């Protein structure tokens, strides 16, 4: 396994406002409280989702162990933020996992639903575009119409930031 120092630096930079990730002592409270670890991890640790290993591999720069493995290693996270709360070192694990997911998107390994949602947002400025049937239901319920967002502004942001190229 090789160490990627550039990747390591990016991980350290991503941790908002501190270098706390350095002080992870692998106590495993994150994995012990992770709902996905609970339902996916087998006793001998050969498969399943494990936030503790992700932090270790990210911190050490073991890029291959994260990105060349089963996508579950990254995409098993359900973003419940429980690990952030139980970590005795106040490491913002979910922020690190967000960075890993963003990198995985750039490698073309994102799950389909995620790309579908990003496309919908780029096309209509909403994750769930408005539909005639729901508009009628809103009217029946006595609700005002939804004020249309500025789609062009959203498309400009996507394009300038450069993430429109990961939509296909």
Partner 1 sequence: MFEGCTIGNRIPFIEAASRKVFEKVGIETSQAPFTCCPDPTGLKSFDNDVWLTMGALNLCIAEAEGKDIISLCNGCTNTLRGVRHQLAHDSLMKEKVNKELSKVGKEYKGTIDVKHFVDVLHDHLDKVKSAISKPLSGLKVAVHPGCHYMRPAEWMESDDPMRPKVLKELVAASGATIAEYEEEVLCCGSAVTNAYEEHGMANLKIKMDSIKRSGADVVVVNCPACFQQFDTKQRDLGKKYETEYDIPVLYITELYALAMGYSPDDIGLKFHRTRLKSILERLGL
Binding positions for partner 1, rule: CB under 8 A: 16-17, 35-36, 38-40, 49, 72, 75-82, 84-86, 92, 94, 98-99, 101-102, 105, 110-111, 113-115, 117-118, 121, 125-131, 134, 137-138, 140-144, 146-150, 153-154, 156-158, 160-161, 163, 166
To partner 1, the closest distance from the beta carbon of 20 in angstroms equals: 12
Place of tokens 């709902």: 35
What is the C-alpha to C-alpha distance for residues 89 and 74, in angstroms, rounded to an integer? Answer: 22
Q: Which is nearer to partner 1, 23 or 71 (CB)?
A: 71
Q: Are 122 and 158 in contact (CB under 8 A)?
A: yes
To partner 1, the closest distance from the beta carbon of 42 in angstroms equals: 13
To partner 1, the closest distance from the beta carbon of 1 in angstroms equals: 25
What is the C-alpha to C-alpha distance for residues 161 and 82, in angstroms, rounded to an integer? Answer: 30
Token pair recorded at residue 107 = 């490698």
Please report the sign of the dihedral spanned by the C-alpha atoms of residue 135, residue 141, residue 147, residue 149.
negative
């Amino acid at each position: 396994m090789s160490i990627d120092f550039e990747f390591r630096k990016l991980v350290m930079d991503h941790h908002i406002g501190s270098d706390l990730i350095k002080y992870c002592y692998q106590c495993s409270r994150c994995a012990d409280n992770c709902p996905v670890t609970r339902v996916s991890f087998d006793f001998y640790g050969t498969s399943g989702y494990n936030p503790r290993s992700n932090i270790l591999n990210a911190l050490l720069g073991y890029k291959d162990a994260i990105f060349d493995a089963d996508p579950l290693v990254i995409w098993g996270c359900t973003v419940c933020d429980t690990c952030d709360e139980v970590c005795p070192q106040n490491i913002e694990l979910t922020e690190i996992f967000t960075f890993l997911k963003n990198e995985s998107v750039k490698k073309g390994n994102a799950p389909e639903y995620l790309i579908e949602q990003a496309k919908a947002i780029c096309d209509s400025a909403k994750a769930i575009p408005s539909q005639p049937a729901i508009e009628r239901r809103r009217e029946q319920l006595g609700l005002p119409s939804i004020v249309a967002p500025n789609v062009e502004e959203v498309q400009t942001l996507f394009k300038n930031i450069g993430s429109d190229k990961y939509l296909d």
